[in-house]
Structure 1
């Protein structure tokens, strides 16, 4: 079976390469960053690459790709990252809900979107529930799952929160990929690269670097140059004998001595992300390369998920009923209510007693992504859910203005 894919927010091609390995042919890759676009073109000259804001109709026309096998993407992470403000639907970089809405136009057989672990947190329960409900309206069955890159032979701690949705006729054949062999250590992964220029200490260093790496942090244009993460991550790197205060231009040289250990090159970081040695070239200067690599979806993880989607589209195996998990029952009750609801009415609908403080906390979380009315008159407090505040493609949405104002700093 010939399967094709349109990929949005394609970055430097980590997900693209993994999906290619799973048997998907790229119809189009859309990406904002010029260096990442050059990387895609240099590595796969036959791919069509559209450069610019993925939500700009002048960059590409989604209707031209109606019926594609797979719509995939790694939409921006900052709206959900634990280290950030978690602005979610009100962050101008949030394209997750827009990407889900895109399925209504493209009508792919399957949808694959990945993001950071923060999206799996209680803060975004209502957001996740909205996504699943919207997919159901479009005749897709969606599932979220937190995948650990280290379960797929990637030598680092890199949790990724993944959404897969398939049409109702294909979804019963989908199963999440099983973990593969244990990943190699950092030392095993980087020994040859560390010794490439003749550094005598490479073997001893590799023996010390006998664990997997902390999560590679790509960073953004809003911050400074390349380094390997916050203070806690730097301590973990130091225990592996790696100086995380920056990225090196070259491997260590003969005679080099280090207080903590050598810095990694961008090429070494790519190995930790799961690229094979010499298999992919990255365009731009050192910091640009590092950001492309650090922000990527590791190719082995993308390949594993891609193979699972391919098997589902081919109806390979025995079908199993897929029942999406419920992420936020309070959201579901409020969403379907025609009028305001009191706490007791919400409790009866969800079948659970709630402390007033707990309901207020969950209502407060919902109010960050949805317009939510609270009525407090002479009787009990009442609640009514309004519209989703996320960008869904509206021309007059504040996202467009903020995006243009901050474009040079968005990555």
Structure 2
């Protein structure tokens, strides 16, 4: 199968790149901020890898890749993660809106961006609506889909919120990938690795680790050492026979006690297996254990990337029967945002209430308060009541004067 060409931003250690390669894509450029993760990707894959801030024009020039088959990436998750403050556009690490603006420059045949489940929350309905509307303006048909890694042969739940956009002539052939028939348990996935040193109780452990695991947490550079997440996650791992308080250097030895006496810890290789790397991938992770664990924990699972990549490849190749209406369509995520945009003027709250049908003033005011976290919102008192007008988006889309640049320079070694 002839490989299609891709550009990948925020590429990490190559989970998405590997999955996309299996699906028929090869990257002509990957950009990654962390030098160690970039070394991992460079060691294991072909194509050019550049290190640095993806929004820095001295690192790469998006216009050089105009017409590429696929523009893909996993932009930073902390702005949307429920484990953080969910600052969205106010978080200096947010690159989602910036990535959308690069579509106007690159004009790819297809777009794939993935992020954490938190981006699907009501808090970001206006943000999502802006993304969809902007892509529509650029001539693409787009939508989001919440996918669980466990539906694609990965032994952890790991929900990811995925955005796919295609031009109309390809969008009519796109179908979201269907879940696989059976889930893979932690025990099934790791039996060979957990028993690699002859542990006599490995079968007992496999029977204990008989479910899909919780989401592996990679964390940021502010995170401490390598462990399997916060207290609740550690408790969930313990129920599966895993000590989540750290990562081991090797599998249990032949004389190690059973899990009922002492829970074994996962190795970096085991965590990679849980993220969807296969034994025959022979993927070598650069850096020390904590860095390796973080690279793996922050990755987009290769099997999920492969499944979505194959669906995109099929659409680009016009495989199957086209839809009368594209499966991808820019639905309304935030009707208040949409009403304010369409009005392009001040709108009284009673008009907003009527436009939403079953809403009331209190619910509209709550929606407006959420919008005000990502957009400038003007308020005016009129004889007929309070009116609102939607102003500029406050997020980073490439502005030279944006505060994101100063923050990045001051905290370069801590941004992840």
Asked if Structure 1 and Structure 2 have the same fold, meaning a TM-score greater than 0.5 normalized by the shorter chain, the answer is yes
* Cα contact 1:219–1:226 (8 A) shared by 2: no
**Residue 103 (structure 1) aligns with:** 103
Describe the SS at the equivalent of 1:217. Answer: coil
| Cα deviation, residue 176, structure 1 | 0.2
Tell me the alpha carbon deviations over residues 222-255 of structure 1, each in whole angstroms, 9 at most, x when there is no partner.
1211110111111110011100001111111222
Partner Cα distance (2:236, 2:341) in 1: 44
**Residue 326 (structure 1) aligns with:** 332
Mark the runs of 5 or more structure 1 residues left unpaired by the alignment. Answer: none
* Cα contact 1:92–1:399 (8 A) shared by 2: yes
Tell me the alpha carbon deviations over residues 305-325 of structure 1, each in whole angstroms, 9 at most, x when there is no partner.
000000000111111112322
Number of aligned positions between the proteins: 409
Using the TM superposition, name which of 85-94 and 274-283 deviates more: 274-283
**Residue 153 (structure 2) aligns with:** 153
Segments of 4+ in structure 1 off by > 6 A? none
* Cα contact 1:14–1:296 (8 A) shared by 2: yes
Q: 2:279 aligns with which of 272, 277, 280?
A: 277
1:105-184 to 2 correspondences below 5 Å: 105-184=105-184
| Cα deviation, residue 351, structure 1 | 4.7
Describe the SS at the equivalent of 1:296. Answer: coil
* Cα contact 2:344–2:390 (8 A) shared by 1: no
| Cα deviation, residue 278, structure 1 | 5.1
**Residue 16 (structure 1) aligns with:** 17
Using the TM superposition, name which of 287-296 and 400-409 deviates more: 400-409
Partner Cα distance (1:382, 1:16) in 2: 48
Describe the SS at the equivalent of 1:40. Answer: helix
- Asked if 1:287 is matched to 2:254, the reply is no
* Cα contact 2:218–2:295 (8 A) shared by 1: yes
1:210-225 to 2 correspondences below 5 Å: 210-225=210-225
| Cα deviation, residue 354, structure 1 | 2.4
Q: 1:358 aligns with which of 345, 357, 363?
A: 363
**Residue 345 (structure 2) aligns with:** 339
Mark the runs of 5 or more structure 2 residues left unpaired by the alignment. Answer: none
- Scaled by the length of structure 2, the TM-score of the pair is 0.96
- Scaled by the length of structure 1, the TM-score of the pair is 0.97
Partner Cα distance (1:406, 1:357) in 2: 40
Partner Cα distance (1:367, 1:308) in 2: 36
Tell me the alpha carbon deviations over residues 74-105 of structure 1, each in whole angstroms, 9 at most, x when there is no partner.
00000000111000011011000111111000
